[in-house]
Amino acid sequence: MKFYMTPGSCSTGIHILLEELELVFEVYLVNLMKGDHLRPENLAVNPKATIPTLVRNDGSALTEFQAIAWWLARSYPKAKLLPSEAEGEVRVIETLDYVVGTIHGQGYTRIFTTENYSPNPLEHEAIQARGREIVSKGFAVMNEVLANKEYVVGSFSIADAALFYVEFWADKIKLELPPNCLAHYQRMLQRRAVRQVLMEEGYRV
């Protein structure tokens, strides 16, 4: 398989899942700052110009974090990255959508890609502040989800890989995590696959 990723981005979560599964894959680095995602060769693989992208063994490409994570879990069921019962699976999907769609998609985008919300620099501080509010509220919600649990649904699942990358971003921008999220983040940092991925992506563990 071929994995198109950017170190330290949301693709880090998928990278963790690939390592958890001990799969063989080729890595293709996409430098978003340099506009690699807009190059014709990358658009041919993923016309959305987004990451992550996973090109499977049959040559077909999967995009979107939730879709890739779910496919990995269903394709390799022995790893138990999804609960076997419907209630557990739907809670995982619920968390994936909230983390990727709200905490990342509505919150962090305002912090990291502020200019997409307004070309006026005078408005950027307020946009970033709103982004931090959304992210903080999101972590407050997830803090309750994690109450009395080591992982989102009790045992490690694809939802934890998603939650980890937004916790990782919080750490990097010095945004305080609530207690249960902080404990989850620290627990994730002890996993072999997470430590391996962070080292491969150039971060000190």
The average pLDDT across 154-160 equals: 97
Cα dihedral 139/141/142/147 (nearest 10): 120
**Residue 110 burial (10 A CB sphere; 0-12, 13-18, 19+):** buried
Beta bridge partners of 4: 28, 53
Structurally, the chain folds into a number of domains equal to 2
Sheet holding 26-29, edge to edge: 26-29, 2-5, 53-55, 61-63
Query: How sure is the predictor about 20, in pLDDT bands with cuts at 50, 70 and 90?
Result: very high
Query: How sure is the predictor about 204, in pLDDT bands with cuts at 50, 70 and 90?
Result: confident
90 and 151 share a domain?
Answer: yes
How does pLDDT run across 22-65, given as a tens digit for each residue?
A: 999 999 999 988 888 999 999 999 999 999 999 999 999 999 99
Is the model's pLDDT at 79 over the cut of 80?
Answer: yes
36 and 102 share a domain?
Answer: no
Rounded distance between C-alpha atoms, residue 62 and residue 116, angstroms: 25
The average pLDDT across 128-150 equals: 98
97 and 170 share a domain?
Answer: yes
Last residue of a domain, one of 35, 59, 79: 79
49 and 107 share a domain?
Answer: no
Last residue of a domain, one of 79, 102, 134: 79
39 and 103 share a domain?
Answer: no
Last residue of a domain, one of 79, 108, 128: 79
Q: Which domain holds residue 175?
A: 86-191
Query: How sure is the predictor about 182, in pLDDT bands with cuts at 50, 70 and 90?
Result: very high
